[in-house]
């Protein structure tokens, strides 16, 4: 009998647990305590090393206030691609903190100005890439 192996779906579920947990401002310890596992087990779920059972995934979804379907790709169309892209962005270091801070700005004009600053910083970052010199 072969041992169970994790799959790409297990890794996808783990990545989404991570993004949603961080978006809620929960630590691995807090999530683990709430669903009855250790923070080490949460780490294994998030890395896709261990599978999350159906009942536990349902409990995690309830705690994170999302439907269970949020942990899976839905369909093959543009909506599924967009959802995958959004979760990819949320994995970037500091992305959740930036989004949380941005959402807390109540003034619409201030939000537009902050967005303009971030876009300018992104353009400047791309321009700083080293140039290739001809030998």
Give the model confidence (pLDDT) of 29-86 as tens digits. 999 999 999 999 999 999 999 999 999 999 999 999 999 988 887 666 665 666 667 7
User: Residue 134: is its pLDDT beyond 80?
Assistant: no
Q: Indicate the range of 3-17, 22-36, 65-79, 120-134 predicted with least confidence.
A: 120-134
Rounded to 5°, the CA angle 84-25-16 comes to 20
Contact 52, 45 (CB under 8 A): yes
Burial of 83 (0-12, 13-18, 19+ CB in 10 A): middle
User: Residue 106: is its pLDDT beyond 90?
Assistant: yes
> Mapping DSSP to helix (H, G, I), strand (E, B) and coil, where does residue 24 land?
coil
pTM of the model: 0.66
Percent of the residues in the chain that have a pLDDT greater than 70, as a whole number: 84
Number of helices (H), then strands (E), in the chain: 7, 0
CA 91: distance to chain centroid?
4
Q: Where is pLDDT greater, at 25 or 82?
A: 25
DSSP code of residue 26 = -
Q: How many whole angstroms separate alpha carbon 52 and alpha carbon 49?
A: 10
Using pLDDT thresholds of 50, 70 and 90, give the confidence band for residue 133: low
What pLDDT is stored for residue 131 in this prediction?
55
Q: Indicate the range of 3-7, 75-79, 108-112 predicted with least confidence.
A: 75-79
Q: Which residues contact 110 (CB under 8 A, 6 or more apart)?
A: none
């Amino acid at each position: 009998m072969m041992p169970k192996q994790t799959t790409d779906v297990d890794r996808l579920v783990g990545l989404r647990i991570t993004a949603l947990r961080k978006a809620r401002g929960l630590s691995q310890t807090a999530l683990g305590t709430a669903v009855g596992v250790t923070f080490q087990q949460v780490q294994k779920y998030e890395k896709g090393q261990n599978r999350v059972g159906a009942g536990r995934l349902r409990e995690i979804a309830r705690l994170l206030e999302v439907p269970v379907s949020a942990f899976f790709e839905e369909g093959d169309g543009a909506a599924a691609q967009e959802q995958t892209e959004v979760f990819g962005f949320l994995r970037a270091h500091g992305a959740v903190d930036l989004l949380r801070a941005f959402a807390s700005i109540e003034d619409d004009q201030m939000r537009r100005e902050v967005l303009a600053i971030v876009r300018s910083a992104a353009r400047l970052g791309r321009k700083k890439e080293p140039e290739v010199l001809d030998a």
